Homo-oligomer: A and B are copies of this chain.
């Protein structure tokens, strides 16, 4: 059932580094985005896929993970992602900020597709933009909007009900990651 896939699709910040992801798998995930809704059907989003260890290891230090647990410097050495997909907006096609909706649409599609394959992802909105553009040698007006890290999940995530509107995620001593989600009654108008 689709609901099971949505629940399975967690934001992972620890991976099995022995499990590499090949370029073909990343292309299958990007291909899914071709069939998603697009604002005015403009489709300004383009994708840099990184599966080779050399480039993956260069992207990793430019990404900033888990702002609420920044003291942990996640992901820990030895548990880093083994692939990245960088979602970029081709501003020659559209420079509209509204395309951030499209970014979310395709990002959710990619991560659900990855979850079906037994992979885990983390959407990363915080990264060193200028350095990333330089590293990926992106043409002018190709603007990275979201980085998706991928790998074989190697951590435990537990969803909880958010109480009193508190949604900050946290970890216990065993490293289990807890994510408070608002209850249905709290998100209905």
Contact = CB atoms under 8 A, between A and B. Distances in A.
Contacts of A188: 27, 30, 46-49
A21 interface: no
Number of copies: 2
B179 A41 contact: yes
A30 B180 CA distance: 17
A171 to B, nearest CB: 13
B108 A2 contact: no
A42 B181 CA distance: 9
Nearest to A183: B34
A101 B107 contact: yes
Interface of A: 1-3, 5-7, 9, 11, 27, 30-43, 45-49, 67-68, 86, 88, 97-98, 100-109, 111-113, 116, 123, 125, 136, 138, 142, 145-146, 159, 162, 167-169, 179-184, 187-189
